[in-house]
Structure formats: C-alpha cells, structure tokens
C-alpha cells in the first residue's frame, strides 16, 4: 500500500456510515442522527445504536460499542482490517492501493487456501454419495441426518485412502507446499511423499461469517487408535479458538438467544429440528474470543452440554467467559436422553422447543448441583457446600446478582447472609489480586477488554485522545512528544501505538495506518482505526497531556486514589469546554 496515501480517509468518505449500517440493519432517522437496534449485543426493545453521519461514527448506549464505518464492518462481518478495507473499496468502487510484497504474498496465500478448502469441500461432498464410498452416507442416515441437511451443511466423506484428495488437488495445479499449508495433506517422514490428513472420516466444513470454508472437522467412522475427531490445525485463515461452528446460520437466524452445543452432530440435529441459532466450539472448551463472538449476536445463551463432570466444568467456564461480555447464561437440562441429538430423535422438535423454554438460570443450576453427594443435615456437609457455592458466586461479575445468590444459599444452610458474603468477598478480592482481567487473547491486542478495569483507569481514554491528536497533526510531533512523552503512558498497547506513530512520522514526514502494517496485526490495526476517529483539538490535547502528567505524579506519590475518575472527567469537561465522555 502507498505508505503516504490518504486512502483510508477517502475510503471513509466514499462509504457514508449511515448507508453502510443501513445495509446490515433497519435504521430510522431522528433529527441529524440515525438509530437502529444494536446488532452486537441483541435484545434491544428500543434502538440503542446511534449513528452520527457528520462525524462518521456510531455508538451503542447499551453495550458501549463504538467506532467508525471500518470498525462496524469489521465487527459485524468478522473480517480482519485488510479484508474490511478491501470490502469497502469494492463497495464504493475505489481502487485498492498497492500492498507491500509481504502483504501481497500473505493475501495470495489466504486466497489459495480458501480455494483449496472450497475444492476439498466439494470433493468430500461428492464422495459422500458416490457408489464407491457408501460408509459416510450410511453413517449419516443411521444418525438421522437427512440429505437436504447434509447439503445445507456441505457434509462430506473423506475416503479411506492415502492420497485421493492430494492427487485431486495436485491435478488442479496446486503445489505440494500450498496443499500442506492448508493442512489438507502432510509429508511422510519415511519417503517424503504427501498423504491425505483426513481419511475415512465424516467431514464437517467450518464456514466463517462470510460463507468461506476456513477449515474442517472430521469424525472417524471406525473406533481405532486414531482420534475420534480431528480438526484443521492453525492456518493463515483458521484458528480453533477464535471460530465457532455454524455461526453463519446463527447470524442469519435473527434469534435473540443462541444454543451452545458440545459438538457438530448436536448442532446439526438442532438445526435440522428447526432451530438455526445453534453453535458449538471446535473440539475445545470455550475461549474468551468465542464468548466475544457470541456476544455480537445474542444477549442470552442456552448451554446444552452433557450432564457429566466434564460437561459441568465446561458450563462453569462458559458462564464465566460469557458474563465478561454481559451475556446471560441458561442451562438446558436434557431429560430422558444423553444429549439434544438423542432427545430430538426420541421426543421430536416440538418437545425440544418446550425443553428450551424450561432452561434455567445457569448459576442456579450450578449452585443446586453443589448439593450432589453432600449430606446437608451435617455440619461438615454444610461447610463443604458453602465452600463450593462461594467459589461459584465469586465468579459472578454483578455485585447485585452475587447478593441475590448469597441470600438464597445462606438460607439453604440456615446461616446469616453476611457470613457467606464475607467468604465470597474474600475470594473475589483474592482473585482480583492474583488474576489479571480477561484480555482479547490471540488477537495481539494488549489493551484490556474488561469494562470494570477500563472504568477504573481513565488514563486509557486520555492516551487515546493524545494518539488521535498525534495522528491528525503529524507536523506537531515534536511538541506532542514534549508535552506527552511515551513514559507517561500507562497502558502498554497505547504506549506501543504512540511510540510507533511518532517513529513513522519522524521517518516518513507523514502518517497513514498502513505504515504500521509491519508491526501490528489486522485486529490491532482495526483498534487503532477506532482511536483515529476520536475528535481532539489542540486545547483538548494539552489538557489531556496535563491530566496524564498529574495522574502519574499522584501515582508516584501513592495518592492516585485521591483523584477520582469522575473528578478527572469533570476536569476535562470544564477545561475543554466540552461535555460528554472523553
């Protein structure tokens, strides 16, 4: 990309934010603003996402999501930064700038893998119903999966052969290196020949939010020493911990809740029964990234895991991660069957719908399970029960919700509420001191996503305003660096961004986001793009720099707590003559 171009700015101007958002959501104009129901947190009774056309930005008063047109498309489509600007360029008819050689190679590699995955998915699907390979179709029929469902999900069969897929892809002109980089073939250490990674398996294509096949899951048809399930390893287009199965259908369902299942077959069975809002993790426990992805499409999740010990541990982890993104969790208690798939086969989709309606508060469910195998009539049993429930209640983010559960559990044991409350608060404090807040892992972004942390450290907001001013005033870099040196920054990510921008301005005499391509990931570039949208005048910058200096001085004296966050924001508003948040 042309390092000194104003392409990003032209791209934003060519894609009016109100028009772009209107293509995803139903918007309504009120005065100078547009409003719509927020697509990121769901459950809006009234529109909560405000669109500011004059400022090319949006803000949700429900989930606090904010940004410009690039941030919106990136969030709602699941694209990385480069893919987002490519999509917006296509939409507006702008010619994309020339990328660096490194970027061109990575982009080409991704496109090759997407195409290899598409060809492989078609190969597996055709083999599912071929005369030579009947094992896959017979298995799906036995499991009650209809042909139209198999087609909908693109299910397939990997033949019990060492090289059928490999030879097919080679015949299409792809190199050995390209095929192995897509994790479709591997090279034998004995003879150096390629062999198919997926063999004699039912194949589940994993499709992203844009309809592209990014990887595969394969279920072995025979009980051998091989793993029952095998997933694509990490590639340039796929990572297990950041994707979910069937989210392309969840996205289209328009449902306000999501059914979180354990595996592929449960999801397909639930979908086939008429519930398209089902998803599953890809062979691992839920991750913070997956919880964040879920929060974009629903404010409530019904967890449909097995009722064994491993399943209950997974429920607890899911509840904890989902609560970090303000997603309310329920638990589906499957009666008379081991999982949703078996229940639907036995009792039908209508009864499954009723079961979903009867799903209960996940925390209540976990607290009740603490009584299992415990003699609640004995003192030791009560102590053991209180120990267990205090661990669970301490993981609840809302203090009000914690109090409700504390009162209920204390009554169950016949003890004063304050006794259990003290135990829970002690555990909360212990966790607070020993654990750092949840981060956006694997995206390379070091800024905390934990809202409570951000609220307690408004320095982060001050730093963002300074960075925004720096981006829009590169000719003032010397003054900006003098007034606000990198050492004053408390957030590691903001400090890294600030230092990198100063370095690029000094080196090139100007600045554009593309100058950071070699140091920041696509997701980080998206975050920086959001910072760039903040409006910061010179006087505001000077006040922010002054406040950041004062915060550091007070902090060095051990008096940081003497300046409250509200006082800090009030100081900003009074000095800048502006109202509202930083």
Q: Angle 81-92/522-532 helices, nearest 10 degrees? A: 60
Assigned domain for 239 exists: no
- For the CA atoms of 451, 455, 459, 463, the dihedral, rounded to the nearest 10 degrees, stands at 50
Q: Which of 124, 228, 245, 118 is nearest to 182 (CA)?
A: 118
Last residue of a domain, one of 92, 115, 134: 92
pLDDT tens, residue order, the chain (582 aa): 333 346 888 888 889 999 999 988 889 988 888 999 888 876 677 888 999 988 888 998 888 888 889 989 988 887 888 888 888 988 888 887 766 677 778 888 999 999 999 999 999 999 998 888 899 999 999 999 999 999 999 999 999 999 999 999 999 999 999 999 999 999 988 888 999 999 999 999 999 988 899 999 999 998 766 788 999 999 999 988 889 999 999 988 878 799 999 899 999 999 999 999 999 999 778 998 899 888 878 889 999 988 777 777 889 889 988 988 888 899 998 888 888 999 999 999 999 999 999 999 999 999 988 888 788 888 888 888 898 999 899 888 778 888 899 999 999 888 888 889 988 888 888 766 555 444 333 333 333 334 333 433 456 778 888 998 998 888 899 999 999 998 888 888 889 999 999 988 887 777 777 677 667 776 677 678 778 766 788 888 888 888 888 766 655 544 443 444 444 445 444 434 443 333
Spatial distance between the Cα atoms of 572 and 566, rounded to a whole number of angstroms:
10
Q: Report how far apart, in Å, the C-alpha atoms of 394 and of each of 16, 84, 316, 372, 421 are.
A: 45, 39, 12, 20, 10
**One domain, residues 107 and 204:** yes
Assigned domain for 513 exists: yes
Q: Which of 235, 233, 244 is nearest to 293 (CA)?
A: 244
Domain range for residue 385? 370-434
**One domain, residues 70 and 188:** no
Last residue of a domain, one of 68, 92, 116: 92
Q: What is the pLDDT of residue 267?
A: 96
**One domain, residues 466 and 489:** yes
Spatial distance between the Cα atoms of 213 and 111, rounded to a whole number of angstroms:
11
**One domain, residues 294 and 338:** yes
Assigned domain for 254 exists: yes
Spatial distance between the Cα atoms of 531 and 2, rounded to a whole number of angstroms:
21
Spatial distance between the Cα atoms of 332 and 85, rounded to a whole number of angstroms:
41
Q: What is the pLDDT of residue 576?
A: 40
Q: Angle 522-532/492-508 helices, nearest 10 degrees? A: 80
**One domain, residues 126 and 86:** no
Last residue of a domain, one of 192, 211, 233: 233
Spatial distance between the Cα atoms of 216 and 532, rounded to a whole number of angstroms:
37
**One domain, residues 272 and 341:** yes
Q: Assign residue 81 the CATH number of its domain.
A: 3.90.580.10
Half-sphere exposure of 123 (CA within 13 A, CB side): 22
**One domain, residues 338 and 417:** no
Q: Which of 332, 282, 283, 296 is nearest to 312 (CA)?
A: 332
Assigned domain for 242 exists: no
Spatial distance between the Cα atoms of 335 and 297, rounded to a whole number of angstroms:
28
Evaluate whether 576 touches 539 at the Cβ level (below 8 Å): yes
Spatial distance between the Cα atoms of 450 and 431, rounded to a whole number of angstroms:
14
* Sign of the four-CA dihedral 60, 64, 68, 73: negative
**One domain, residues 133 and 211:** yes
Assigned domain for 197 exists: yes
Half-sphere exposure of 317 (CA within 13 A, CB side): 14
Assigned domain for 2 exists: no
Can you read off the two tokens belonging to residue 103? 């970027």
Can you read off the two tokens belonging to residue 184? 């479709």
What tens digit of pLDDT does each residue of 114-126 get?
A: 999 999 999 999 9
**One domain, residues 430 and 547:** no
According to DSSP, the β-strands at 229-231 and 257-261 are unpaired
One-character DSSP codes across 171-207: HTT--HHHHHHTTSEEE-TTT--EEESS-SEEEEEEE
Please state the domain count of the chain.
5
Spatial distance between the Cα atoms of 14 and 180, rounded to a whole number of angstroms:
40
Q: Which of 528, 531, 516, 526 is nearest to 79 (CA)?
A: 526
Q: What is the pLDDT of residue 5?
A: 46
- The beta strand positions in 497-575, using DSSP E, are none
Spatial distance between the Cα atoms of 144 and 156, rounded to a whole number of angstroms:
15
Evaluate whether 266 touches 308 at the Cβ level (below 8 Å): no
Q: Residue 102 contacts by C-beta under 8 Å, 6 or more apart in sequence? A: 518
Coil, strand or helix at 2: coil
Q: Assign residue 333 the CATH number of its domain.
A: 3.40.1360.10
Assigned domain for 226 exists: yes
One-character DSSP codes across 148-177: HHHHHHT-EEE-S-SSHHHHHHHHTT--HH
Spatial distance between the Cα atoms of 263 and 280, rounded to a whole number of angstroms:
6
Tokens 């502006």 found at? 578
Q: Report how far apart, in Å, the C-alpha atoms of 312 and of each of 108, 283, 334, 366, 381 are.
A: 43, 16, 13, 8, 21
Question: What pTM was computed for the model?
Answer: 0.65
Q: Angle 459-472/538-556 helices, nearest 10 degrees? A: 140
Assigned domain for 487 exists: yes
Order of strands, sheet of 66-67, starting from the edge strand that comes earlier in the sequence: 28-30, 33-36, 49-52, 57-60, 66-67
**One domain, residues 397 and 331:** no
Angle made by CA atoms 262, 264, 269, in degrees to the nearest 5: 95
**One domain, residues 162 and 229:** yes
For the chain, what is the total number of helices (H) and then of strands (E)?
A: 25, 16
Neighbours of 552 (CB within 10 A): 16
**What single DSSP character describes residue 183?**
T
Spatial distance between the Cα atoms of 37 and 28, rounded to a whole number of angstroms:
10
What tens digit of pLDDT does each residue of 140-177 get?
A: 999 999 999 999 999 999 999 999 999 999 999 999 99
End-to-end CA separation in angstroms for the chain:
32
Exposed, middle or buried by CB within 10 Å (0-12, 13-18, 19+), for 262? buried
**One domain, residues 352 and 466:** no
Q: Which of 501, 503, 439, 494 is nearest to 464 (CA)?
A: 494
Can you read off the two tokens belonging to residue 263? 């595996």
Coil, strand or helix at 57: strand
One-character DSSP codes across 391-403: HHHHT-S-HHHHH
Spatial distance between the Cα atoms of 456 and 448, rounded to a whole number of angstroms:
12
Q: What is the pLDDT of residue 456?
A: 38
């Amino acid at each position: 990309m042309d390092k000194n171009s104003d392409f990003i700015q032209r791209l934003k101007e060519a894609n009016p934010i109100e028009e772009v958002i209107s293509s995803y959501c139903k918007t309504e104009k009120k005065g100078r603003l547009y409003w719509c129901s927020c697509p990121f947190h769901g459950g809006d009774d009234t529109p909560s996402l405000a669109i500011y056309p004059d400022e090319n930005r949006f803000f949700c008063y429900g989930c606090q999501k904010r940004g410009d047109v690039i941030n919106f498309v990136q969030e709602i489509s699941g694209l990385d930064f480069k893919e987002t600007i490519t999509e917006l360029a296509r939409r507006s008819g702008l010619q994309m700038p020339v990328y660096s050689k490194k970027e061109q190679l990575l982009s080409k590699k991704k496109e090759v893998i997407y195409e290899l995955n598409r060809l492989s998915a078609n190969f597996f699907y055709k083999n599912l119903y071929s005369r030579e390979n009947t094992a896959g179709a017979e298995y799906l029929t036995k499991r009650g999966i209809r042909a139209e469902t198999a087609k909908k999900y693109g299910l397939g069969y990997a033949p019990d052969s060492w090289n059928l897929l490999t030879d097919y892809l080679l015949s299409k002109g792809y190199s050995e290196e390209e095929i192995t980089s897509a994790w479709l073939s591997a090279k034998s250490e004995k003879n150096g020949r390629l062999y198919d990674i997926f063999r004699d398996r039912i194949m589940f294509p994993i499709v992203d939010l844009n309809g592209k096949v990014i990887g595969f899951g394969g279920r072995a048809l025979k009980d051998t020493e091989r793993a029952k399930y095998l997933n694509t390893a990490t590639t340039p287009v796929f990572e297990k911990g950041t994707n979910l199965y069937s989210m392309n259908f969840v996205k289209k369902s328009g449902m306000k809740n999501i059914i979180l299942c354990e595996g592929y077959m449960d999801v397909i069975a639930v979908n086939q029964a008429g519930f398209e809002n089902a998803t599953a993790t890809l062979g691992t426990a839920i991750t913070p990234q997956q919880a964040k992805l879920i929060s974009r499409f629903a404010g409530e999740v019904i967890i449909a895991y097995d009722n064994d010990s491993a399943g209950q541990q997974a429920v607890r982890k899911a509840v904890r991660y989902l609560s970090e993104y303000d997603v309310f969790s329920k638990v589906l208690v499957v009666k008379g069957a081991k999982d949703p798939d078996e229940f639907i086969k036995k009792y039908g989709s209508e009864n499954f719908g009723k079961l979903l309606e009867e799903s209960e508060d996940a925390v209540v469910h976990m607290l009740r399970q603490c009584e299992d195998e415990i003699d609640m009539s004995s003192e030791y049993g009560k102590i053991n029960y209180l120990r267990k429930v205090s661990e669970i209640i301490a993981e609840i983010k809302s203090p009000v919700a914690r109090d409700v559960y504390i009162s209920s559990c204390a009554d169950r044991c016949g003890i004063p509420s304050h006794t259990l409350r003290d135990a829970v608060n002690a555990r909360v404090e212990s966790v607070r001191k020993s654990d750092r807040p949840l981060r956006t892992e694997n995206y390379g972004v070091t800024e905390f996503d934990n809202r409570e942390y951000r609220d307690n450290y408004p320095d982060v907001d001050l730093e963002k305003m300074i960075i925004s001013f720096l981006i829009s005033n590169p000719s003032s870099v010397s003054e900006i660096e003098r007034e606000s040196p990198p050492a004053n920054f408390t957030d590691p990510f903001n400090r890294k961004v600030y230092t990198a921008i100063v370095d690029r301005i000094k080196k090139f005499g100007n600045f554009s986001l593309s100058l950071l391509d070699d140091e920041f990931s696509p997701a980080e570039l998206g975050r920086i793009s959001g910072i760039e949208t903040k409006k910061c005048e010179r006087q505001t910058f000077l006040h922010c720099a002054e406040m950041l200096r004062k915060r550091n001085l007070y902090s060095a004296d051990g008096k940081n707590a003497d300046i409250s966050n509200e006082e800090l924001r009030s100081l900003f508003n009074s000095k800048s003559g502006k109202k509202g948040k930083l």
